[in-house]
């Protein structure tokens, strides 16, 4: 549940691009003539109420001109082939410039929105308005279209995070995610579903508007494997054109008010969307109704019952609040609570590696890590996922590498910053790392995987941020280790004895560990086991004896590492692997 209700507005800004495939650039001329005035007036309203909206702008409108190259407009775009528009998708594009054809170019509009106060979010509504869910929009079309949007926005210094789909019909989510989008508007109620013929849905939707029924309020839908968040739409703010003229003006506010009330009460999102053309007919009345909505929402924002957010702001909220692995919430708070203890265990001046099983285990990991690092060229960039209080991150740095740590525990990060002020660190969810693809030469992740139920998502995220050919060093907790903790914790989980373990964890056998690493795409996997014996138990009974035995048997213990069959009984599994270079 959200802390409080959210009202969000997304505006599909497309001019002729939104309708040309159905002849709309001619049919709606009257509306497009008023387009810029409408946008200016909306921005004035937003200024008055201090509201930021999400403007999803068609990429072609970022241009102030375009022309043919070798007889073709936009040769870099793989043409959509929708069966309702058999010709070349760009056959209506005039190939001229803004002063000649202002329905097709809109760099002035982009600038107007970009310079608005308060700051508005600029999002994407595709480059040339293909219908992503239709089979006529191939993967290649989607990719060339989205890539173009991203590069045009970049030229204007705009980073695109949010997307609304043409005809509000999502498709090719993997491409969206590949190009750095984080959040998109999804389909709302059944009237926007793929069910049934268009005419029936339209009629139902109209009846819905006519009845001023309460629109749905929605929750973010987190699409884990794509790293995307979907915010379904709640209500389309309708124009007064065609059959929609039948809707009494006031019903627009009436419905929206019900939506806002529900968002406040249920702590959910009311997502209103429209096109600027909604205001083109019967303008005064429609603007008045819209202003009533803004006024109502802003009143409730003033009473601290409601947040008015852009899509990007909702995404930020999700990122900081939603923890997406069911093991994580408890393990994060456990690490927050014990940050001091962990930091002390790792602190260098007090360190005696034979003092306890915990310390000795860390020695084995550290020895293996130093071996791993010795094979890498100095100066490489290494990410430490689940860096905790930063001991290993700093170790990497001391070895002559560039490093970056991420952790989800605020207290751990605070500890890191005070112990190692020069070590760069970010607070982030390991399943949603704030780095672009192929950013690191190597990744290490020590005693982190065990705190994830869905380990594959973590591993795939590591795979994403590491460069092809880069190496990973990662540890796992063995299920059948002689210290019996794996079995103990697993039994507690199976019998739901939550209160007697600090948090549920994931444990591996050598085989399951290997399998999951392979499944996540890694190759050249080598797994080694370290440290045998029930010392964690002995530590509790007779710490002095435990410490003595650990030291006494270290050499013997190292020898056991060579025996593959014993891996499952060890206390630590360490894998080294590679992200394959694609040929």
Site string for Zn ion, 165-184 (x = CB under 5 A): --------------------
Q: Is the dihedral of CA 106, 107, 113, 119 positive or negative?
A: positive
Q: Which of 469, 310, 460, 307 is nearest to 377 (CA)?
A: 469
Stretch that binds Zn ion, among 3-11, 63-71, 139-147, 374-382 (CB under 5 A): 63-71
Stretch that binds Zn ion, among 59-67, 306-314, 379-387, 474-482 (CB under 5 A): 59-67
Stretch that binds Zn ion, among 90-98, 210-218, 436-444, 455-463 (CB under 5 A): 90-98
Report which secondary-structure segment, H or E, holds 225: none
Residue 121 touching Zn ion (CB under 5 A): no
Q: How far apart are CA 76 and CA 148, in angstroms?
A: 8
Select the residue interacting with Zn ion from 12, 14, 21, 93 (CB under 5 A). Answer: 93
Residue 66 touching Zn ion (CB under 5 A): yes
For residue 291, the tally of other CB atoms under 10 A from its CB is 15
Minimal distance, residue 125 CB to Zn ion, in Å: 15
Assigned token pair, 357? 């099983």
Minimal distance, residue 502 CB to Zn ion, in Å: 60
Stretch that binds Zn ion, among 92-100, 153-161, 291-299, 393-401 (CB under 5 A): 92-100
Q: How far apart are CA 12 and CA 454, in angstroms?
A: 36
Minimal distance, residue 93 CB to Zn ion, in Å: 4
- Alpha-carbon radius of gyration of the chain: 29
Minimal distance, residue 134 CB to Zn ion, in Å: 21
**Window 403 to 462, contacts with Zn ion (CB under 5 A):** none
Q: Which is nearer to Zn ion, 66 or 458 (CB)?
A: 66
Q: Which is nearer to Zn ion, 148 or 312 (CB)?
A: 148
Q: Which is nearer to Zn ion, 150 or 569 (CB)?
A: 150
Residue 145 touching Zn ion (CB under 5 A): no
Stretch that binds Zn ion, among 89-97, 113-121, 156-164, 543-551 (CB under 5 A): 89-97
Output 500-503 pairs: Cβ under 8 A, ≥24 positions apart. 502/330, 502/331, 502/334, 503/327, 503/330, 503/331, 503/334, 503/451
- For 120-134, give the secondary structure using H, E and C: CEEEECCCCCCCCCC
**Window 269 to 328, contacts with Zn ion (CB under 5 A):** none
Stretch that binds Zn ion, among 16-24, 87-95, 117-125, 358-366 (CB under 5 A): 87-95
Q: Which residues pair with 530 in a beta bridge?
A: 572
User: Is the bond into 177 cis (omega within 30 degrees of 0)?
Assistant: no
Q: How far apart are CA 558 and CA 531, in angstroms?
A: 7
Q: How far apart are the first and last CA of the chain?
A: 45
Q: Which is nearer to Zn ion, 66 or 228 (CB)?
A: 66
Stretch that binds Zn ion, among 49-57, 66-74, 308-316, 335-343 (CB under 5 A): 66-74
Q: Which is nearer to Zn ion, 65 or 359 (CB)?
A: 65
Report which secondary-structure segment, H or E, holds 269: strand 269-274
Minimal distance, residue 108 CB to Zn ion, in Å: 16
Q: How far apart are CA 34 and CA 22, in angstroms?
A: 20
Of all residues in this chain, which one has the CB nearest to Zn ion in the complex?
A: 66
Q: Which is nearer to Zn ion, 66 or 131 (CB)?
A: 66
Contact by Cβ (8 Å): 288, 296: no
Minimal distance, residue 67 CB to Zn ion, in Å: 8
Q: Which is nearer to Zn ion, 66 or 449 (CB)?
A: 66
Tell me how many residues contact Zn ion (CB under 5 A). 2
Minimal distance, residue 104 CB to Zn ion, in Å: 7
List all residues 6 or more positions away from 167 whose beta carbon is below 8 Å from its beta carbon. 131, 133
Minimal distance, residue 95 CB to Zn ion, in Å: 6
Q: How far apart are CA 444 and CA 396, in angstroms?
A: 10
Assigned token pair, 252? 């627009």
Minimal distance, residue 74 CB to Zn ion, in Å: 6
Q: Which of 215, 284, 291 is nearest to 256 (CA)?
A: 215
Q: Which residue carries 């992740």 as its tokens?
A: 445
Q: How far apart are CA 517 and CA 511, in angstroms?
A: 10
Contact by Cβ (8 Å): 314, 269: yes
Minimal distance, residue 90 CB to Zn ion, in Å: 6
Stretch that binds Zn ion, among 86-94, 219-227, 417-425, 533-541 (CB under 5 A): 86-94
Q: How far apart are CA 216 and CA 211, in angstroms?
A: 14
Minimal distance, residue 94 CB to Zn ion, in Å: 8
Minimal distance, residue 66 CB to Zn ion, in Å: 3
Q: Which is nearer to Zn ion, 66 or 428 (CB)?
A: 66
Q: Which residues contribute to the site for Zn ion (CB under 5 A)?
A: 66, 93
């Amino acid at each position: 549940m959200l802390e409080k209700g959210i009202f969000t507005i997304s505006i599909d800004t497309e001019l002729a691009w939104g309708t040309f495939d159905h002849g709309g650039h001619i049919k709606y001329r009257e509306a497009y003539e008023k387009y810029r005035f409408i946008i200016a007036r909306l921005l004035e309203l937003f200024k008055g109420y201090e509201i930021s909206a999400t403007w999803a702008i068609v990429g072609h409108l970022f241009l102030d001109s375009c022309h043919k190259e070798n007889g073709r407009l936009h040769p870099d775009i793989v043409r959509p082939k929708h069966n309702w528009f058999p010709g070349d998708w760009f056959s209506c594009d005039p190939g001229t410039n803004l002063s000649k054809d202002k329905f097709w170019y809109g760099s002035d509009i982009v600038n107007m929105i970009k310079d608005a106060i308060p700051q508005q979010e600029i999002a994407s509504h595709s480059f040339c308005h293909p219908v992503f869910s239709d089979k006529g929009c191939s993967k290649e079309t989607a990719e060339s279209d989205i890539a173009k949007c991203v590069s045009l926005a970049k030229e204007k210094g705009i980073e695109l995070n949010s997307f609304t789909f043409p005809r509000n019909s999502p498709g090719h989510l993997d491409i969206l995610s590949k190009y750095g989008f984080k959040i998109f508007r999804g389909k709302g109620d059944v009237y926007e579903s793929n069910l049934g013929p268009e005419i029936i849905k339209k009629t139902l939707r109209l009846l819905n508007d006519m009845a001023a029924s309460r629109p749905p309020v929605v929750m973010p839908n987190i699409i884990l494997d794509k790293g995307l968040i979907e915010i379904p739409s709640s209500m389309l703010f309708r124009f007064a054109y065609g059959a929609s003229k039948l809707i009494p003006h006031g019903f627009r506010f009436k419905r929206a008010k019900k939506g806002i009330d529900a968002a406040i009460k249920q702590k959910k999102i009311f997502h209103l969307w429209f096109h600027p053309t909604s205001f083109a007919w019967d303008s005064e009345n429609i603007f008045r109704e819209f202003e009533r909505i803004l006024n109502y929402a802003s009143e409730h924002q003033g009473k601290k019952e409601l947040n008015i957010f852009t899509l990007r702001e909702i995404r930020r909220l999700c990122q900081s609040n939603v923890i997406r692995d069911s093991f994580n919430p408890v393990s994060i708070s456990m690490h927050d609570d014990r940050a001091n203890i962990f930091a002390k265990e790792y602190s260098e001046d007090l360190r005696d590696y034979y003092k306890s099983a915990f310390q000795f285990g860390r020695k084995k990991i550290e020895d293996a890590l130093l071996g791993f690092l010795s094979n890498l060229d100095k100066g490489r960039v290494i990410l430490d996922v689940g860096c905790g209080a930063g001991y290993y991150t700093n170790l990497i740095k001391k070895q002559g590498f560039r490093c970056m740590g991420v952790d989800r525990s605020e207290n751990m990060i605070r500890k890191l910053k005070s112990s190692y002020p020069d070590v760069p660190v970010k607070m982030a969810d390991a399943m949603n790392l704030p780095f672009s693809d192929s950013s690191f030469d190597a990744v290490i992740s020590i005693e982190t995987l065990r705190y994830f139920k869905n380990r594959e998502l973590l591993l795939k995220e590591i795979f994403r941020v590491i460069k092809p050919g880069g190496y990973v060093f990662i540890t796992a907790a063995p299920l059948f280790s002689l210290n019996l903790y794996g079995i103990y914790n697993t039994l507690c989980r199976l019998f739901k004895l939550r209160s007697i373990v600090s948090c549920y964890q994931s444990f591996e056998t050598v085989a399951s560990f290997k399998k999951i690493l392979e499944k996540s795409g890694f190759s050249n996997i080598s797994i080694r086991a370290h440290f045998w014996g029930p010392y964690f138990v002995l530590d509790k009974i007779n710490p002095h004896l435990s410490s003595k035995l650990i030291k006494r048997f270290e050499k013997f213990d190292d020898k056991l590492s060579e025996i593959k069959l014993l891996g499952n009984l060890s206390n630590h599994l360490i894998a080294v692997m590679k992200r394959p270079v694609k040929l």
